[in-house]
């Protein structure tokens, strides 16, 4: 302290003034330079974080029981082509580091623009997410303001996902894209039964809507429909509420919401807190909006990889889920030469005979050479040596489908000489609600399906959509059985990786009926499995089979 005192005494007051002036000139200059560097050189930033992840990968455990252990050391690359941010605590989310080792190298790379948008979004989330000063300030403004809520510092998009887990995941992904496109912070109103399924996607923050959120009971919030009515009465933008509830859930015979239109988006833009309830993958309706369309087009150079990238980014299995997934994979799937995922979802079990479903599955898989016929001429049990092994992963609420297929192939010769092994991870009998372990099993099975080489899924099932899109696969879509009709192909190959949007808008923004999506929206096609639905397609030469 004495030395410090004597040094201070030596500095004359003139020198001090010069130092202070210098500091005030140099500091803003340094700050501006730093900001310019950060916004204009995301490629460099990416390279830097790539190195960091490579260093982290080097410290991964390499157990000899782990089928991926030898490849871990060889693949010290950044997981998912730089899609995921670096800086996370490794042990908090093991799948973030390991999951790409369970997949073949991806032909679908994220665009630099998508990575840039995600890094920007992460900054916004860190600044405005729960437990931050800006969150508290913004919420106070939103709660207190009737008309001038749009002056709040941060804007929010609260996602209320409903229905089964597949429905919820596709609607969360669509809502996240909407948040990125509109510079809003995404918060998900997860039920407690969903808390432990996924890792936190955003560094040093959470995407879980806090229980203290002032509009947890969103049923009291003004609706989008009533706002549109007011707007028809030519109310000014100042009359807009600070919070609005927008219902994009699947409902029959509802009038069009014109959500895809500029006039709706212009109004919504001025509402700081949007609460969006959905069970749908409404990405195609964002694509139908001209300004969103140009952004989406830059973000996703391959149009049908929206869920593939955003789902891969958002839905990393939690450590608990990853433990189940990796254990099942290593025990049953890792040693196969080929993995066939077979998702059997029976929507009306009481009126759909099991045998009819089984016949459909066999007609599809055998006709398309996904599974071999039995060799009835040769009753000799196959010899294991040098035979190629196909593993079928059956997912279904019923045990019988897996059992039937297993009994059919067990110890039997096949015409191709292949050995067929059949596994089913669970049979929950029926869909359960608010059940943590039930959801965990559903998530584990969707993820395992996505790790397969070939996928057979059930038409219209969002459970299958998640598996398909996460895995970057074009599945064989099993025909949806409705009666005893047999004049249909048992399954058809999908033309896109994307989930189907089941309830696209019926009208153009001028009120005219949309008769043909393709002529206006080059990258939209009618879904193969649901005639009213549309989905994004990468190849514009894809023929429109069905569709509105
Ligand atoms: P969708 O109804 O087929 O569109 O799919 P959802 O995932 O939205 O809802 C179905 C729900 O039923 C799942 O989330 C699971 O809770 C349950 N379920 C349906 N099929 C299976 C299955 O094969 N395995 C497991 N574990 N659960 C299933």
Report the alpha-carbon distance of residue 89 to residue 453 in Å, rounded: 31
Q: What is the pLDDT of residues 334-365, one digit of tens each?
A: 999 999 999 999 999 888 999 999 999 999 99
Residue 129 C-beta-side C-alpha neighbours within 13 Å: 18
Report the alpha-carbon distance of residue 266 to residue 396 in Å, rounded: 44
Report the alpha-carbon distance of residue 196 to residue 152 in Å, rounded: 32
Ligand 1 pocket residue status of 498, Cβ below 6 Å: no
Residue 192 C-beta-side C-alpha neighbours within 13 Å: 1
Ligand 1 pocket residue status of 247, Cβ below 6 Å: no
- Nearest Cα neighbor of 117 from 309, 318, 267, 316 is 309
Which residue positions in the chain have pLDDT lower than 70? 1-80, 146-152, 231-238, 379-386, 482-487, 542-548
> What is the 3 state secondary structure string of 327-340?
HHHHHHHCCCCEEE
Ligand 1 pocket residue status of 345, Cβ below 6 Å: yes
Ligand 1 pocket residue status of 438, Cβ below 6 Å: yes
Q: Tell which one of 457, 463, 464 to mutate to probe ligand 1, the residue whose CB is within 8 A of the most ligand atoms.
A: 463
Report the alpha-carbon distance of residue 259 to residue 265 in Å, rounded: 7
Residue whose CA is at the smallest distance from ligand 1 atom 9: 164
DSSP 252: T
- Residue 37's H or E segment, with its range, is helix 13-40
Residues 205/130, Cβ–Cβ less than 8 Å = yes
Residues 166/461, Cβ–Cβ less than 8 Å = yes
Check residue 546 and give its pLDDT.
Answer: 41
Residue whose CA is at the smallest distance from ligand 1 atom 16: 431
What pTM was estimated for this model as a whole?
A: 0.85
- Residue 207's H or E segment, with its range, is none
Ligand 1 pocket residue status of 457, Cβ below 6 Å: no
DSSP β-bridge partners for residue 344: 396
Check residue 256 and give its pLDDT.
Answer: 85
Q: What is the pLDDT of residues 366-378, one digit of tens each?
A: 999 999 999 988 7
- Nearest Cα neighbor of 239 from 169, 147, 333 is 147
Check residue 297 and give its pLDDT.
Answer: 96
Check residue 148 and give its pLDDT.
Answer: 59
Report the alpha-carbon distance of residue 114 to residue 111 in Å, rounded: 5
DSSP 223: B
Check residue 233 and give its pLDDT.
Answer: 55
Ligand 1 pocket residue status of 445, Cβ below 6 Å: yes
């Amino acid at each position: 302290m004495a030395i410090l005192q004597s040094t201070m005494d030596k500095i004359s007051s003139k020198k001090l003034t010069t130092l202070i002036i210098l500091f005030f000139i140099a500091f803003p200059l340094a700050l501006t330079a730093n900001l310019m560097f950060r916004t204009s050189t995301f490629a460099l930033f990416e390279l830097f974080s790539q190195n960091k992840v490579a260093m982290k990968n080097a410290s991964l455990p390499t157990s000899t029981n782990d089928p991926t252990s030898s490849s871990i050391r060889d693949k010290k690359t950044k997981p998912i082509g730089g899609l995921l941010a670096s800086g996370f605590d490794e042990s908090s989310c093991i799948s973030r580091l390991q999951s790409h080792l369970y997949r073949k190298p991806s032909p679908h790379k994220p665009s630099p623009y998508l990575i840039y948008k995600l890094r920007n979004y992460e900054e916004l989330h860190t600044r405005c997410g729960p437990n931050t000063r800006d969150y508290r300030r913004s919420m106070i403004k939103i709660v207190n303001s009737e008309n001038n809520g749009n002056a709040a510092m941060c804007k929010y998009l609260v996602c209320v996902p409903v229905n089964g887990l597949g429905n919820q995941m596709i609607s969360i992904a669509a809502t996240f894209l909407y948040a990125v496109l509109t510079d809003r912070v995404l918060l998900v109103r997860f039920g407690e039964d969903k808390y432990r399924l996924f890792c936190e996607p955003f560094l040093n923050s959470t995407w879980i809507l806090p229980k203290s959120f002032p509009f947890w009971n969103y049923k009291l919030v003004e609706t989008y429909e009533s706002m549109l009515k007011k707007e028809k009465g030519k109310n000014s933008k100042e009359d807009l509420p600070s919070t609005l509830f927008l219902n994009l859930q699947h409902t029959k015979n509802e009038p069009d919401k014109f959500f895809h239109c500029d006039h709706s988006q212009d109004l919504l833009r001025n509402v700081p807190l949007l609460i969006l309830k959905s069970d749908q993958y409404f990405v195609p309706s964002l694509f139908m909006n001209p300004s969103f369309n140009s952004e989406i087009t830059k973000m996703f150079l391959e149009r049908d990889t929206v869920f593939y990238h955003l789902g891969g980014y958002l839905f990393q299995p939690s450590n608990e889920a990853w433990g189940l997934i990796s254990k099942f994979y290593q025990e049953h799937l890792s040693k196969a030469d080929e993995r066939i995922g077979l998702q059997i979802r029976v929507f009306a079990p009481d009126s759909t005979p099991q045998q009819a479903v089984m016949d459909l599955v066999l007609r599809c898989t055998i006709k398309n050479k996904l599974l071999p016929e039995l060799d009835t001429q040769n009753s000799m049990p196959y010899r294991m040596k040098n035979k190629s092994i196909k593993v079928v992963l059956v997912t279904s609420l019923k045990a019988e489908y897996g059992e039937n297929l297993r009994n059919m192939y067990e110890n039997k010769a096949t015409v191709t000489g292949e050995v067929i092994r059949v596994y089913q991870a669970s049979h929950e009998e029926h869909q359960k609600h608010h059940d943590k372990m039930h959801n965990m099993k559903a998530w584990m099975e969707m993820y395992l399906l996505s790790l397969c080489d070939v996928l057979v899924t059930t038409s219209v099932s969002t459970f299958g959509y998640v598996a398909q899109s996460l895995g970057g696969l074009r599945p064989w879509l099993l025909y949806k059985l409705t009666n005893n009709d047999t004049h249909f192909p048992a399954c058809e190959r999908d033309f896109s990786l994307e989930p189907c949007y089941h309830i696209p808008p019926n009208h153009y923004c001028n009120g005219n009926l949309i008769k043909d999506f393709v002529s206006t929206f080059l990258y939209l096609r009618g879904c193969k499995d649901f005639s009213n639905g549309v989905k994004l397609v990468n190849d514009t030469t894809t023929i429109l089979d069905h569709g509105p």
